[in-house]
Structure 1
Amino acid sequence: MDFQQLIVAHLLAISMALVLDAIIGDPVNWPHPVRWFGRWISFIDKRLNQGKFQRMNGLFLVLSMVVWCFVLPLALLIALYEISYWIGIIVEGIMIATTISTKSLGEAAYKVALPLQKGDLQEARFQVGMIVGRDTDQLDESEIARATVETVAENTSDGITAPLFFAFVLGGAGAFFYRSINTCDSMVGYKNPMYEKFGYFSAKLDDWLNFIPSRLTAFIMVISNVMHSEFTAKHVFSIIKRDAPKHPSPNSGYGESAVAALLGIQLGGRNTYKGIVSNRAKMGDPLYSLNVSHIFKTVQVMKRTVWCTWFFYLIGGILIGITYTWS
């Protein structure tokens, strides 16, 4: 398989993955690689997150993910492509589909929005508690909407466009590897006494892997949604430049500030975690009060961003292929 065939294979696999995810999503009872990643991480965590060498043990966890979630999937795909070009594409497409969550993220947001729309705060609080880590039992409509919008905005990159980026660059094995490190970070990448050392390499590698995808996602988010916003691209980019660096994460602020600027709302502020107050930097200007409508609007922002990302990679792949032919 030459370089041009490889580009075409990746683009077809990505296209197939997006269609599969849009139709099927992530059925709860189906086997899923992220659950396998989680079991392995928990297994290592219970046995090696102790003693004097916690940081090195955390490095072992990361290296084990490289083997299980990149080297082995890559070897499998190489073997399948040797057997049949089309079998390789189909399996790679299925692999990529398991790493993205467009449908499930939208459904999770709607599970919050629909009861909130009916005034059922208790059910809305329960549903938002399924997707955020903050305390939800006292949240009003505005705070429930904010929590949901922030989650969708952040996970547009983490859960969809970042895996697609690595699928475009490194194929299905790259998407698998990204999701495995992202799962490591979500499980052990905390700055607390238990995980500060053990989760150090997981958190750092996740930050490095997300550096380009988070910024690229914010850019595509703006160009794919600015026609549906009352604000200019120049205004939105100025808000991103101003507010994204304020976020405690070096990457998460880009998606959140982009959504805030596009919708004319303010994200961030006061959150509580197990009764402990945490004041997060504010993103965007409060031109409109947050309400349930902003959840629906954010899901639409997410969907437009995902399909524009696909188009971006399609055009990029074609241009790379043409350049390779002429070289």
Structure 2
Amino acid sequence: MITSAIIVICAFIIDTIIGDPNSKYHPVAVMGRLVGILDSLLYRKKANDPVKLVLGLILSIICLSTAYWLTRGIIWGMELLKFNWWIKIFLDAVILSFMISPKSLMQAGLGVINNLIHDDIEAAREKVHYIVGRDVNNMDEAEMVRATIETIAENTTDGIISPLFFFFIGGLPLAVLYRMANTLDSMVGYKNDRYLYFGRASARIDDILNLIPARIAGILIVISAAILHFDYKNAWKIMKRDAKKHPSPNGGFTEASVAGALNIRLGGQNYYFGKPHFRAYMGDPYQKLCARHIVSAIQLMYTATVLFIALVIILLPIVPLWWHSGF
């Protein structure tokens, strides 16, 4: 119990100090290359839809199994080699820190803010392009702010709460498995001609895994709003009212709660490959979107992260730590 608490705290400290190194050897980058290789090997353009579904499921099973058992193998290896307890703690914390991304989200948001403050619209669009999949060429300042806040809000679940949640219930192997599921969804979980069927299994697995963490994250954003003296009552109201409008069964919980807390409106017209796609509005436009709202979204994200870590540490003593048994 104490060991797991130390790992979580150390992972957060490592991420806060170092963040995600921009390296091709980063575990998530390696996951992405594995998905890309298997995608090219398994995808059959001329296959019928049921076959694409099966091939996509095989892709998911191979990737998720590899992530889980490779991580468990590393843990077993450290036990067989009788690594010092502190070395094992450190290595586990480093791996877990790779699975979370609060500092990366903060840096992405601050990068956009810095360019907007200096009226460098093109550079700001380039920064937004790195963190969203939508077209950015014609975005004005408000649209760039909206895209950045939506990314920070949604990734509060995907990039922080969910990995920590699965570490909480299943140890490091399950946290890595979740990150692989999220990587699969981000790479093949699209509703386009290529991935509508081939990527469906990956998208559904990600949806299922995020069902509980997304709702926890939404509630944590509301509590964070109260702590930070934002509009927590409106955050709760908008989350209940608008969360289910999101095209994802999970993404709306943090986006709606952030919109309510900041008294802004998210959603609207997005463009993907030149084609318009309307995303339902979340929140009410009481305030005009501006750069300071990105700062507020970052504050909510970090506060929710600290709250969840505290919650995990409090609950660890009453949860059976079966993953330390080696099974």
Match of 2:13 in 1: 19
Is 1:28–2:22 an aligned residue pair?
A: yes
Aligned to 2:323: none
Cα distance, 1:30 vs structure 2: 6.2
Cα deviation, residue 90, structure 1? 2.0
1:304 aligns with 2:303: yes
Letter in 1 for 2:53: R
TM-score scaled by length of structure 1: 0.92
> How far has the Cα of 1:320 moved from its partner?
4.3
* 1:316 to partner: Cα distance: 1.1
The 2-side partners of 1:119 and 1:152 are apart by: 22
- The residue aligned with 1:274 is 273
Q: Is the 8 A contact 2:99 2:159 kept in 1?
A: yes
| Contact persistence 2:23–2:29 (CA under 8 A) | no
Q: Distance in 2 between matches of 1:122 and 1:190?
A: 27
Instruction: Tell me, in whole angstroms, the C-alpha distance in 1 between the residues paired with 2:177 and 2:247.
Output: 24
The SS at the match of 2:195 is coil
User: 1:18 and 1:66 mapped to 2: Cα distance?
Assistant: 24
Deviation at 1:8, TM superposition (A): 2.4
Correspondent of 1:48 among 38, 42, 51: 42
Q: Matched residues in 1 for 2:64 and 2:87: separation?
A: 24
Shift, 1:16, TM fit: 1.0
Provide, for residues 198-222 of structure 1, a one-character-per-residue CA deviation record: whole Å limited to 9, x for no partner. Answer: 1111011000000000000111111
Question: Shift of residue 224 of structure 1?
Answer: 2.2
Equivalent residues in 2 for 1:112-151 (5 A)?
112-151=112-151
Q: Where do residues 72-151 of structure 1 align in structure 2 (5 Å cutoff)?
A: 72-81=70-79, 83-84=82-83, 85-151=85-151
Query: Is the CA contact (8 Å cut-off) linking 1:81 and 1:87 kept in structure 2?
Result: no
The gaps in structure 2 that reach 5 residues or longer are: 321-327
* Alpha-carbon distance in 2 for matches of 1:272, 1:197: 22
- Range moving further from structure 2, 131-140 or 204-213: 131-140
3-state SS of 1:270 partner: strand
Amino-acid identity (%): 39
2:222 matches 1:222:
yes
User: 1:25-84, CA deviations, whole angstroms, 9 ceiling, x for partnerless residues?
Assistant: 112136211111111111111111103422111111111123210022113213424524
Instruction: Give the stretch that moved more between structures: 178-187 or 215-224.
Output: 215-224
Write the distance in 1 (CA, Å) between the matches of 2:195 and 2:214.
24
For residues 54-65 of structure 1, the aligned pairs below 5 Å read 54-65=52-63
Stretch moving more, 51-60 or 238-247? 51-60
Q: Secondary structure at the match of 1:130?
A: helix
Q: Secondary structure at the match of 1:197?
A: helix
Aligned pairs, number: 314
Q: Tell me which stretches of 4 or more aligned residues in structure 1 moved more than 3 Å.
A: 84-87, 318-321
CA distance in structure 2 between the aligned counterparts of 1:204 and 1:8, rounded to whole angstroms: 34
Q: Give 5+ residue unaligned stretches, structure 1.
A: 1-6, 322-327
Match of 2:315 in 1: 316
- The residue identity in structure 2 corresponding to 1:80 is M
Q: CA deviation at 1:241?
A: 0.9
1:153–1:298 contact (8 Å) kept in structure 2: yes
Distance of aligned partners of 1:279 and 1:60 in 2 relative to their CA distance in 1, 3 Å threshold:
same
The 8 Å contact of residues 92 and 171 in structure 1, kept in 2 or not, is answered as: no
RMSD between aligned residues: 1.5
Which amino acid is 2:57 matched to? L
CA distance in 2, matches of 1:253, 1:31: 32
CA distance in 2, matches of 1:149, 1:287: 16
CA contact (8 A) 1:80 1:87 kept: no
- Structure 2 counterpart of 1:170: 170
Please give the TM-score of this superposition, normalised by the length of structure 2: 0.92
